[in-house]
Chains A and B, each alone.
Chain A
Amino acid sequence: MRVTKGAQIVAGTALLALAVAACGGGASNNGGTATGGGSAETPVRMELGEPQELLVPSNTTESEGAETLAAIFEPLVTYDENKNAVEAAAESITSDDQKVWTIKLKSNYTWHNGEPLIAQNYVDAWNYAANQENAQGAGYFFGRIDGFADLNPGEGKPVTTKTMKGLEAVDDTTLKVTLAAPFSQFKVMLGYTAFYPLPKAAFGPDGKVTQAYGEQPIGQGLFKMDKPYKKGTDQTIDMTVYDKYPGQKPKNWTKLQFKLYTDSDVAFNDLQANNLDIHDSLSPAAIATAKSTLGERYQDQPDAGVGYIGVPLKYNPELNKVEIRKAISMAIDRKTIAETVFSGTRAPADDFINPAIAGYRQGACKACTYNPAEAKKLYDEAGGPKTLELGYNADGGHKEWMEAVANNLRQNLGIEATAKPFEKFASILDELDAKTYKGLFRMGWAIDYPSAENYLSPIFSTGAIKTGSNYGGYSNEKFDELIAKGDQAATVEEGLKFYQQADDILNEELPYIPVYFYRNNSGYSTSVKNVKINLLNQIEWADVEKV
Chain B
Amino acid sequence: MGRYIIRRLLQSIPVLLGATFLIFSIVFALPGDPIAALAGEKRADPNLVAILREQYHLNDPLLLQYWHYISGVLFRADFGVTFADVPVSQIMAGKFQVTINLAVTALIIEALVGVGLGLWAALRRGTAIDTMILASTLLLISVPTLVSGFILQFILGVKLKLWTGLDIFPIAGISNGLRSYLLPGFVLAGVSIAYLTRLTRTSLAETLRSDFIRTATAKGLSRRRVVGRHALRNALIPLITFLGADLGNLMGGAVITERIFNLPGVGLQLFDSVYLREQPMVVGIVTVLVLIYILANLAVDVMYAVLDPRIRYE
- A positions within 8 Å CB-CB of B: 7, 10-11, 13-14, 17-18, 20-21, 24-25, 27-33, 35, 52-54, 61-62, 132-133, 135-137, 139-140, 152, 154-156, 211, 214, 230-233, 235-236, 259-263, 265-267, 269-270, 272-275, 395, 423-427, 429-430, 444, 467-469, 471
* Contacts A62-B40, A270-B172, A273-B162; A33 near B178 (Cβ below 8 A): no
Contact B45 A140 (CB under 8 A): yes
- B positions within 8 Å CB-CB of A: 31-33, 36-43, 45-48, 50-52, 54-55, 84-86, 90-95, 97, 150, 153-158, 160-179, 182-183, 258-262, 264, 268-269, 275
Contact B95 A272 (CB under 8 A): no
Q: How far is the CB of B213 from chain A (nearest CB, A)?
A: 33
B260 contacts which of A52, A263, A425 (Cβ < 8 Å)? A263
Contact A232 B91 (CB under 8 A): yes
Contact A426 B32 (CB under 8 A): yes
In the complex, A259→B40 CA distance in Å?
23
Closest to B112 in A: A20
Contact A233 B93 (CB under 8 A): yes
* Contacts A272-B158, A275-B172; A140 near B48 (Cβ below 8 A): yes
Q: How far is the CB of A410 from chain B (nearest CB, A)?
A: 27
Contact B48 A137 (CB under 8 A): yes
Chain B residues lying within 8 Å of A17, measured Cβ to Cβ, are: 168-169, 182-183
Closest to A425 in B: B41
Contact B179 A231 (CB under 8 A): no
* Contacts A10-B160, A135-B52, A263-B260; A27 near B178 (Cβ below 8 A): yes
A154 contacts which of B41, B47, B164, B258 (Cβ < 8 Å)? B47
Chain A residues lying within 8 Å of B36, measured Cβ to Cβ, are: 426
Chain A residues lying within 8 Å of B154, measured Cβ to Cβ, are: 269
Q: How far is the CB of B97 from chain A (nearest CB, A)?
A: 8
Contact A469 B42 (CB under 8 A): yes
Contact B259 A14 (CB under 8 A): no
* Contacts A152-B47, A154-B47, A426-B36; A54 near B84 (Cβ below 8 A): yes
9 A-B pairs within 8 Å (CB atoms) are namely A10-B160, A14-B166, A35-B167, A54-B86, A137-B38, A236-B175, A261-B172, A269-B172, A275-B170
* Contacts A61-B39, A139-B45; A232 near B95 (Cβ below 8 A): yes
Chain B residues lying within 8 Å of A139, measured Cβ to Cβ, are: 45, 48
Closest to B169 in A: A17
Contact B43 A469 (CB under 8 A): yes
Chain B residues lying within 8 Å of A29, measured Cβ to Cβ, are: 175-177
- Given A235-B264, A262-B258, A262-B264, 10 additional A-B pairs, CB 8 A: A18-B166, A52-B38, A52-B84, A137-B48, A156-B54, A233-B91, A266-B153, A267-B172, A269-B171, A468-B43
Contact B90 A14 (CB under 8 A): no
Contact B33 A426 (CB under 8 A): yes
A423 contacts which of B32, B40, B47 (Cβ < 8 Å)? B32
In the complex, A275→B262 CA distance in Å?
13
